[in-house]
Amino acid sequence: MSTARDEILGAIRGALGRGQLDDVTRAKLDAVEHAHIRPAFEGDLVERFVRKFESRAGTVTRVAKLSDVPKAVEAHRAQWHLPKRAAVGAALHKLKWAAGWEIHFDAAGIEETLSVSLAVCGIAETGSLLFASGPESPITHNFVPDDQVAVLPVEHIVKWFENAWPILRQREDGMPRATNIVSGPSRTADVEQTVQLGAHGPRRVHVVLVG
């Protein structure tokens, strides 16, 4: 019995006027690494990252060291009158929180208002954050809460998207279930092309640059 798979592949080969490719040709194709044009830009990567991220309605603050992060989170919380509760990525479990904070490392639930996550890297080209899911960084932290604070060590800012792919390739367990590239808060323009922030994902994304 011919399966849908065989029939579709057969139809493709028929359309291309050839049979199945031999192993040598296939191996050659796999070895090709197409390099593509990258937008040229000069200057400081951190400065560009901040400028681009802010141009997409994100906000940025800078602290000297990782242990300063809770203070920056507290400032953001106070500004937006959020409860003292956060879903924190377990990668940041060493952070010390002031009294009164309720911190957990689980997935974000429907009532979650604030998350604190460690970004794998920042991409200066477009001012984007890259998160890789895993036990230490649940996917829901990036989408469910109204407010997300992203922790980004300055040395993790790379120039182009192309500089981020090797980081993913070098991971021991390969690609994570979800790789999320985030460029500012969630938005929609589906009602009369008027841009409105906070469509389904976070209304505010606040980056804490470390270093």
Q: Tell which positions 109-148 bind another protein, by CB under 8 A.
A: 110, 126, 128, 133-135, 138-140, 142-144
SS3 state at 77: helix
Strand (E) or helix (H) holding 52 = helix 45-55
Which of 127, 121, 117, 119 lies closest to 59 in space, CA to CA? 127
* Distance from C-alpha of 131 to C-alpha of 17, rounded to nearest angstrom: 43
Report the residue from 37, 42, 65, 102 that binds another protein according to the rule CB under 8 A.
Answer: 37
- The rounded Cα 3 to chain-centroid distance in angstroms is 39
Q: Show the binding pattern over residues 85-104: x = contacts another protein (CB under 8 A), - = does not.
A: --------------------
Which of 110, 130, 102 lies closest to 118 in space, CA to CA? 130
24 contributes a contact to another protein by CB under 8 A:
no
* CB 36, min distance to another protein, A: 4
Structural contact between residues 127 and 55, judged by C-beta atoms closer than 8 angstroms = yes
Nearer to another protein, 74 or 136 (CB): 136
Nearer to another protein, 5 or 96 (CB): 5
Strand partners, 132: 179
* CB 209, min distance to another protein, A: 20
* Distance from C-alpha of 175 to C-alpha of 146, rounded to nearest angstrom: 27
From the list 37-45, 64-72, 74-82, 94-102, the region that binds another protein by CB under 8 A is 37-45
* Distance from C-alpha of 23 to C-alpha of 18, rounded to nearest angstrom: 15
Nearer to another protein, 66 or 178 (CB): 178
202 contributes a contact to another protein by CB under 8 A:
yes
Nearer to another protein, 64 or 110 (CB): 110
Handedness of CA 73, 79, 80, 83 (dihedral sign): positive
211 contributes a contact to another protein by CB under 8 A:
no
Nearer to another protein, 103 or 199 (CB): 199
* Distance from C-alpha of 117 to C-alpha of 136, rounded to nearest angstrom: 9
Query: Which residues ranging from 140 to 199 are in contact with another protein (CB under 8 A)?
Result: 140, 142-144, 160-162, 165, 168-169, 173-194, 196, 198-199
* CB 195, min distance to another protein, A: 9
